[in-house]
Amino acid sequence: MKVPLIFGCVGHIDIEENDELREKVRSIFLKYMSKYKNSDFYLITSLAEGADLLVSEVANELGIFLHIILPYDEKEYLQTFKNSNNINRYYKLKSVAKKFEIIKYNSEKKEDLYFEAAKRMVTLSNIIISLWDKKFNNKKGGTSSIIKYLENKNLNDNLLKILYIIETPRLKDNVEKKYDIEKKEYKMFSKNGIYNIFKYIDDLNKNVNNVNFNFFDKLAIKYQKLYYIVSLLILFFVFIGVVAYEYNTDFNFKLITTFIYILMVVLSYVIYYYFIKLKKINEKFLLSRFIAECLRIQSNFNYLNINKNISEMIFFDDIIKFNWIKVLINNIAYLSYIKNDFFVTPKVWVKNQIDYFDDAIKKREKKIRIIKNIENFFKLLGIIVIIILLGAVFIYNFFDLNILNLPFSIMIFLSAFFFTIYIFLEEYLKILQYKEEIYNFKLMKKIYINYEKHYSNIDETDLVIELSKKAVDEIVRWFEFHYNSVIKIKFY
């Protein structure tokens, strides 16, 4: 399945549905469909009379998939329709919809339920089309309250959304119908931010068949391996360059060694600049892993139809650099919401988490052992070289014999090089913080084992929410440490 770009709609019930208004709506849809040709498009709608039905019919004609969100029970909802033909239109659109849901909210007030349905639409949508007369009133759940909610939400959460307001008068208002389109882009902190992420999604759809947790998980592994290979290459070229520099004192090889030295330095810099600075492979690894884990958590919310969105829980301190991630996670997670195709049950998820942390602990312990063995190997080599040098000096000074005829400059360099590698690996272990991660992983594993033991006594929904909170906290802390950035978490 392709990652979608998601429309939402809101508007008055009592409007004149005419061809001019339909064309205005159609023009907005076509603008994005023509620009992002590799992507699927969805429209989230409540299929209410008036604006919702009109926008939904135009969307359906263009091949845009429908996602219906009702504020309360369908039978009771349809009783509010004043025209039997509109009920027929409703059922026709429902029959082709990709997703149908009814909001679960503990309130008997209809205005609260309408407002909750609209809030969900705002949360999931990228582009919102409103057919509104631009008049604010105090009616909760009405069009103006949704627009106001969107405005306030942008101020608090720094949204990446686009709002189209087609000025649409009500039937009771005896005014000229202009249908002027006003466009508001909530991207004040990031120039062209929403369009950049739309393009990224479209490119993903062009090159990848199935974008989900597994895709980003494999992507993270790919970039991590590439980062290790690049680091080793740079280290190897630096070593060759230093050796060549040491031999540069020999006149017979001066030209060759100088050339090798310069070549190695240039190669090291080129590799570093291209992969680390330009391609940013380590940054891509961190982002891919973060996105993968967020999608894994979201899939469990979607499986149990829990009305929570992981992208609404995380708030980046550096919004210019990272807020696009919220849009990407929202839109990719939306796929699993529409089609439950890669879910696991909470019980299986708990078992998977235990296995995951157990495997992570073993892998890090193994890496620590390997790095420690390499450390000790180079430390031993350094000690051996120093002993040989001291032995050679002793033999030469006391017995006047230069039986080894050693190249002392190279030996001194090698001893320094071996100890440098030893110190580098020791510091590398500290930077990776494997010991700290192992400690944290053991704590998380213990928590999941405890949940597994008491699983039968815990409500399935509560279990997923509690475990997800811990999982969100875990991946956020990991990202903050490695990326040196601040992320706030808000559970709701």
Q: Which residue do the tokens 């990848």 mark?
A: 208
* Closest among 235, 239, 233, 264 to 410, alpha carbons compared: 239
Q: How far is CA 235 from CA 3, 267, 271, 420, in A?
A: 40, 11, 11, 12
Q: Give the three-state DSSP class for 165.
A: strand
Q: What percent of the chain has pLDDT over 90?
A: 26
How much is the average pLDDT of 248-270? 73
Helix-strand-coil percent breakdown of the chain, rounded to 5?
65, 10, 25
* Closest among 93, 484, 466, 118 to 301, alpha carbons compared: 466
Give CA 372 to chain center in angstroms.
34
Pairwise pLDDT comparison (203 vs 186), residue with the higher score: 203
Query: What sign has the CA pseudo-torsion 2, 476, 103, 340?
Result: positive
Q: With cut-offs at 50, 70 and 90, classify the pLDDT of residue 491.
A: low
Q: Rounded distance, CA 78 to CA 84, Å?
A: 9
The pLDDT tens digits for 393-427 are 776 666 555 545 556 666 777 777 788 788 777 76
* β-pair type (99-102, 127-132): unpaired
State the burial class of residue 327 (Cβ atoms within 10 Å of its Cβ: 0-12, 13-18, 19+).
Answer: buried
- Quote the pLDDT of residue 188: 44
How much is the average pLDDT of 268-273? 84
Q: Rounded distance, CA 204 to CA 39, Å?
A: 9
Q: Which residues contact 299 (CB under 8 A, 6 or more apart)?
A: 213, 333, 336, 342, 343, 344
Structure tokens belonging to residue 465: 């929410």
Q: Rounded distance, CA 61 to CA 82, Å?
A: 24
Q: Give the three-state DSSP class for 139.
A: coil
Q: Give the three-state DSSP class for 132.
A: strand
* β-pair type (314-316, 181-186): unpaired
Q: Rounded distance, CA 132 to CA 151, Å?
A: 15
pLDDT > 60? residue 296: yes
The pLDDT tens digits for 361-402 are 998 899 889 988 998 998 999 899 888 878 777 766 665 555
Q: Give the three-state DSSP class for 308.
A: coil
Q: Rounded distance, CA 414 to CA 213, Å?
A: 46
Q: Rounded distance, CA 186 to CA 249, Å?
A: 64
Q: Give the three-state DSSP class for 50.
A: coil
Q: Give the three-state DSSP class for 448.
A: helix
- Quote the pLDDT of residue 303: 67
Q: Give the three-state DSSP class for 298.
A: helix
pLDDT > 50? residue 341: no
Q: What is the CATH number of domain 4-207?
A: 3.40.50.450
- Quote the pLDDT of residue 156: 57
Q: Give the three-state DSSP class for 103.
A: coil
The pLDDT tens digits for 156-185 are 555 678 899 999 999 887 777 777 888 877
Mean pLDDT lowest among 95-109, 218-232, 248-262, 472-486: 248-262
Q: Which of 127-136, 175-184, 216-225, 318-327 has the highest mean pLDDT?
A: 127-136
209 — phi, psi (to 5°)? -75, -40
The pLDDT tens digits for 4-33 are 999 999 999 999 999 999 999 999 999 999
pLDDT > 70? residue 346: no
Give CA 431 to chain center in angstroms.
24
pLDDT > 80? residue 83: yes
pLDDT > 50? residue 189: no
Number of residues written out for the chain: 492
Q: Rounded distance, CA 389 to CA 407, Å?
A: 10
Mean pLDDT lowest among 259-268, 296-305, 326-335: 296-305
- Quote the pLDDT of residue 138: 78
H/E stretch holding 15 reads none
pLDDT > 80? residue 266: yes
Q: Give the three-state DSSP class for 98.
A: coil
